[in-house]
Amino acid sequence: MKDIDLLRSINIKNGGHLAREIYGQPDLWNTTLKMVLKKKDQLSQFLNEIFKINSLQIILSGAGSSAFIGEILQQSFFINTGVPTVVIPTTDLVTHPRGLINKSAPTLLISFARSGDSPESVATFELAEKMYDLIYHLVITCNAEGNLAKRTIGKKNSFVFVLPGKSNDQALAMTGSFTSMTFAGLLISDIIHLNGSQAKTDKLVEYGNLILQKFTQNLREVSKMDFKRVVFLGSGALKGAAKESHLKLLEMTDGKIVSQYDSFLGFRHGPRAAIDGSTLLIYLFSNDPYVYKYELDLVKSIHQKGNYLFSIGVGQCLHKLEDLNINLSIDLCCGCQPVPDDYFSVCAVLPAQIIGFYKSLELGLTPDSPSQDGGINRIVQGVTIYPY
């Protein structure tokens, strides 16, 4: 049986939603591009007027995985728009608005939300409306019926972009919702060059299908290993992908596997102490030659010590790796034009999703809903929003 059929054959009780959502992502990216192209004129009209405002700032916000989207896109928005861009999770804005909201700064708040029903999502919208002198909202969500979408649709200072229905994951862990919202944000950040995005999208879809069809069996074998810790490393946009990857392992294994993330350079400053003989190392390599030099230096240093269980390298046109003894090289580009790191981040989270799925089964968990005590839910529960 082919790898891709194996995951699709898992029954719903054991994780059929998650399996389909992982494997449906490349098609979802194509659909996302089509939907952004369809809304291009409306998005451009809304954003162009905002970008004319002096001293404008952009805030990228969300909770959990949705907040990590902002970490992938922060540099893209700044480079593509020239507007100072910061990432502030809704979970921080709700508790510390006084220290994070500059009421006199004209602000475009870009909110990412799978369901839009997280209490913090709506609370952040209401706080921003109340506290900023001039505020605009761009909501990127997978659920047109969510509270956030309903709250913002029709307002003159707001634009709601709803992704394809299949992006609204039914499993606990965000997979297609995360990558499609990230991709939509990436496309919107460079809306003026949107018509030139097809070639990069095609390459991204090719990469996603390559991981799913060629490397799933390798990653399934990795999931059978007796690792107790997993470390994900990435630089720039790929650090955001590493952060999302670490959460996938943590969620899908119900915390039984300890995972962490960092940048390659940041890892040297203390966190490297986490490596031991039970550690799985996953490197998300940059395609920027300048950045790659720093990454290779760290990998050489780690591998000289040799005190780890297994290592995986994920990247495009990987070179100079033959002397590093990386156990599994997921090299997605040979002699072709690679995509920029921000685009690559969209598919760089797939290995963690696949390992997490199979590790969940190995541990006797239900991948669709791995939290045994119900402490983690698809939509966060138990949060009371207090008046501010």
Q: What is the pLDDT of residue 303?
A: 92
Q: How far is the CA of 119 from the CAs of 63, 130, 137, 379, in angstroms?
A: 10, 17, 17, 9
Residues 230 and 184 in one domain: no
CATH code for the domain in which residue 139 is found:
3.40.50.10490
Q: For 325-378, what is each residue's pLDDT tens digit?
A: 899 999 997 667 889 999 999 999 999 999 999 999 999 998 988 766 655 555
- Write down the pTM of the prediction: 0.94
DSSP three-state, residue 170: coil
Residues 140 and 43 in one domain: yes
Residues 178 and 205 in one domain: no
Q: Which of 173, 117, 113 is nearest to 377 (CA)?
A: 173
103 Rama sector, left if φ>0, alpha if ψ -120 to 50, beta otherwise: alpha
Q: What is the pLDDT of residue 1?
A: 40
Distance CA 235, CA 246 (A): 14
Q: Which of 180, 196, 212 is the last residue of a domain?
A: 196
Residues 176 and 288 in one domain: no
Flag whether 1 is in a domain: no
DSSP three-state, residue 199: helix
Residues 218 and 107 in one domain: no
Flag whether 296 is in a domain: yes
Residues 76 and 108 in one domain: yes
Domains: count for the chain: 2
Residues 126 and 205 in one domain: no
Residues 158 and 244 in one domain: no
Q: What is the pLDDT of residue 320?
A: 74
Residues 159 and 54 in one domain: yes
Residues 190 and 247 in one domain: no
Distance CA 89, CA 143 (A): 19
Flag whether 129 is in a domain: yes
Residues 80 and 217 in one domain: no
Residues 176 and 265 in one domain: no
Flag whether 285 is in a domain: yes
Q: What is the pLDDT of residue 370?
A: 79
Q: What is the pLDDT along the chain (388 residues), one digit of tens a residue?
A: 455 555 655 555 566 889 999 999 999 999 999 999 999 999 999 999 999 999 999 999 999 999 999 999 999 999 999 999 999 999 999 999 999 999 999 999 999 999 888 889 999 999 999 999 999 999 999 999 999 999 888 889 999 999 999 999 989 899 999 999 999 999 999 999 998 899 999 999 999 999 999 999 999 999 999 999 999 999 999 999 999 999 999 999 999 999 999 999 999 999 999 999 999 999 999 999 999 999 999 999 999 988 999 999 999 988 777 778 899 999 997 667 889 999 999 999 999 999 999 999 999 998 988 766 655 555 656 677 788 8
For residue 100, what are the domain limits? 39-196
